[in-house]
Structure 1
Amino acid sequence: MSSTVLPPAQAWRALAALCLGFFMILLDQTIVAVATPGIMADFDARLDQVVWVTSIYLLCLLVPLLFTGRLGDRFGQRHLFRLGITVFTLAALAAALAPTLELLVAARAVQGLGAAILTPQTMSVINRVFPRERRGSALGVWGAVGSVATLVGPVLGGFIVAGVGWRGVFLIHLPVGILAVVLATLWVPRLPTFARRIDAPSVAVSFLGMTALVVAVQQGPGLGWPAWAIVLGVLGLLLIVLFVRMQATAASRSTEPLVPLEMFRNRNYSIGVFSIATMGFTASSMMLPVMLWLQDGQGLSSRDAGLMLIPMAVVAAIASPLIGPAADRLDPRLLSVGGFGTMMATLLLIAWLMYAGGPLWIFLVAAGLLGVGNALVWAPNSATAMRTVDIAYMGAAAGVYNTGRQTGAVLGAAGVGAAMQVGAVSLGFVPGLAVSLLLPAAVLGLGLVAVAFFRPEPLVEPQGAEPSHGG
Structure 2
Amino acid sequence: MTTPPDNLTSAEEPAAPDRLDAAVYRTAGVVVLGAIMAILDVTVVGVAIPTFQSTFETSYAIAAWTMTGYTLALATVIPLTGWAADRFGTKRLYMLAITLFVLGSVLCSFAWDITSLITFRVLQGLGGGMLMPLGMTIMTRAAGPSRIGRVMAVLGIPMLLGPICGPILGGWLIESASWHWIFLINVPIGILALIAAFIIFPRDRPSPSESFDFVGMLLLSPGLALFLFGVSSIPEMGTVASARVLIPAVIGLVLVLAFVRHALRTEQPLIDLRLLGRNRNLAVAVATMLLFAMAFFGAGLLLPSYFLQVRGETTLQAGFLLVPQGLGAMISMPIAGRLVDRIGPGKIVLTGVALISLTMAVFTQVHADTPYPLLLGALFVMGLGMGATMMPVMTAAMATLTDHEVARGSTLMNIVNQTAGSIGTAIMSVVLTNLLDNQQYAQAAIASRFDPRIAAQLPPEALNDGFEQAARAFGHTFTVALVLIVATLIPASFLPRRKVTPPIPAEGAAPVVVH
Q: Which category describes the TM-score, using the shorter chain as reference length?
A: over 0.9
Matched residue, 1:469: none
Task: Identify the match of residue 389 of structure 2 among 377, 391, 404.
Answer: 377
Task: Identify the match of residue 248 of structure 2 among 212, 232, 243.
Answer: 232
Q: Secondary structure at the match of 2:167?
A: helix
| Contact in 2 for aligned 1:4/1:129 (Cα 8 Å) | no
**Matched letter for residue 218 of structure 1:** S
Task: Identify the match of residue 123 of structure 1 among 136, 153, 160.
Answer: 136
- 1:340 maps to 2:356: no
Matched residue, 2:376: 364
Task: Identify the match of residue 105 of structure 1 among 111, 115, 118.
Answer: 118
Q: Distance in 1 between matches of 2:229 and 2:482?
A: 25
| Contact in 2 for aligned 1:23/1:145 (Cα 8 Å) | yes
Once the two structures are TM-superposed, the CA of residue 465 in structure 1 deviates from its matched residue by 5.6
Residues 46-105 of structure 1: per-residue CA shift (max 9 Å, x gap) = 212211111101111123211223211222122111111110001100101122222111
Q: Distance in 2 between matches of 1:361 and 1:93?
A: 41
**Matched letter for residue 90 of structure 2:** Q
Report the more deviating stretch, 386-395 or 89-98.
Answer: 386-395
| Contact in 2 for aligned 1:144/1:318 (Cα 8 Å) | no
Task: Identify the match of residue 405 of structure 1 among 409, 417, 436.
Answer: 417
Q: Distance in 1 between matches of 2:74 and 2:368?
A: 39
Q: Distance in 2 between matches of 1:228 and 1:17?
A: 41
Q: Distance in 2 between matches of 1:15 and 1:228?
A: 42
Once the two structures are TM-superposed, the CA of residue 393 in structure 1 deviates from its matched residue by 1.9
Cα separation, partners in 2 of 1:436 and 1:452, compared to 1, 3 Å: same
Question: Over alpha carbons, which structure has the higher Rg?
Answer: 2
Matched residue, 1:51: 64
Structure 2 unmatched ranges of 5 or more: 1-9, 440-468, 509-515
Q: Secondary structure at the match of 2:364?
A: helix
Once the two structures are TM-superposed, the CA of residue 311 in structure 1 deviates from its matched residue by 0.7
TM-score by length of 1: 0.93
TM-score by length of 2: 0.85
Equivalent residues in 2 for 1:154-303 (5 A)?
A: 154-194=167-207, 196-223=210-237, 224-225=239-240, 226-251=242-267, 256-264=268-276, 265-303=278-316
Report the more deviating stretch, 140-149 or 204-213.
Answer: 140-149
Q: Distance in 2 between matches of 1:232 and 1:284?
A: 23
Once the two structures are TM-superposed, the CA of residue 426 in structure 1 deviates from its matched residue by 4.5
**Matched letter for residue 239 of structure 1:** L
**Matched letter for residue 504 of structure 2:** P
Q: Distance in 1 between matches of 2:129 and 2:96?
A: 11
Q: Distance in 2 between matches of 1:446 and 1:58?
A: 26
Residues 153-203 of structure 1: per-residue CA shift (max 9 Å, x gap) = 111222211222000000000010011111111112235444611210110
Residues 121-177 of structure 1: per-residue CA shift (max 9 Å, x gap) = 011111111122211112112212320232111112222112220000000000100
| Contact in 2 for aligned 1:424/1:431 (Cα 8 Å) | no
Once the two structures are TM-superposed, the CA of residue 3 in structure 1 deviates from its matched residue by 4.1
Comparing both structures, which one devotes a greater share of its residues to helix?
1
Matched residue, 2:432: 420
Q: Distance in 2 between matches of 1:464 and 1:150?
A: 43
Q: Secondary structure at the match of 2:173?
A: helix
Q: Distance in 2 between matches of 1:130 and 1:150?
A: 27
Q: Distance in 1 between matches of 2:245 and 2:289?
A: 26
**Matched letter for residue 19 of structure 1:** V
- 1:452 maps to 2:493: yes
Q: Distance in 2 between matches of 1:285 and 1:172?
A: 27
**Matched letter for residue 72 of structure 1:** A
Q: Distance in 1 between matches of 2:245 and 2:53?
A: 26
Q: Distance in 1 between matches of 2:260 and 2:40?
A: 33
Q: Distance in 2 between matches of 1:412 and 1:43?
A: 29
**Matched letter for residue 233 of structure 2:** Q
| Contact in 2 for aligned 1:391/1:464 (Cα 8 Å) | no
**Matched letter for residue 459 of structure 1:** T
**Matched letter for residue 11 of structure 1:** V
Once the two structures are TM-superposed, the CA of residue 227 in structure 1 deviates from its matched residue by 2.9
Q: Secondary structure at the match of 2:64?
A: helix
Equivalent residues in 2 for 1:142-161 (5 A)?
A: 142-161=155-174
Task: Identify the match of residue 398 of structure 2 among 386, 401, 422.
Answer: 386
Task: Identify the match of residue 429 of structure 1 among 470, 482, 485.
Answer: 470
**Matched letter for residue 33 of structure 1:** G
Identity of aligned residues (%): 25
Q: Secondary structure at the match of 2:388?
A: helix
Residues 193-223 of structure 1: per-residue CA shift (max 9 Å, x gap) = 4461121011011122112211110113431
| Contact in 2 for aligned 1:269/1:385 (Cα 8 Å) | yes
Cα separation, partners in 2 of 1:171 and 1:71, compared to 1, 3 Å: same
Q: Distance in 1 between matches of 2:475 and 2:296?
A: 16
Residues 235-261 of structure 1: per-residue CA shift (max 9 Å, x gap) = 22111111011112223xxxx211112
How many matched pairs?
Answer: 461
Once the two structures are TM-superposed, the CA of residue 318 in structure 1 deviates from its matched residue by 2.9
Once the two structures are TM-superposed, the CA of residue 383 in structure 1 deviates from its matched residue by 1.1
Task: Identify the match of residue 36 of structure 2 among 15, 23, 26.
Answer: 23
| Contact in 1 for aligned 2:47/2:170 (Cα 8 Å) | yes
Q: Distance in 1 between matches of 2:308 and 2:146?
A: 45
Q: Secondary structure at the match of 2:494?
A: coil
RMSD of aligned Cα (Å): 2.0
Matched residue, 2:504: 462
**Matched letter for residue 393 of structure 1:** E
**Matched letter for residue 185 of structure 1:** F
Once the two structures are TM-superposed, the CA of residue 322 in structure 1 deviates from its matched residue by 2.4
Higher RCO by CA contacts (8 Å cutoff, separation 6 or greater): 1
Residues 322-348 of structure 1: per-residue CA shift (max 9 Å, x gap) = 221111011321100011111122111
Structure 1 unmatched ranges of 5 or more: 467-471
Q: Distance in 2 between matches of 1:437 and 1:461?
A: 41
| Contact in 1 for aligned 2:346/2:494 (Cα 8 Å) | yes
Once the two structures are TM-superposed, the CA of residue 321 in structure 1 deviates from its matched residue by 1.9
Q: Secondary structure at the match of 1:414?
A: helix
Q: Distance in 2 between matches of 1:134 and 1:457?
A: 11
Once the two structures are TM-superposed, the CA of residue 355 in structure 1 deviates from its matched residue by 4.7
Report the more deviating stretch, 220-229 or 74-83.
Answer: 220-229
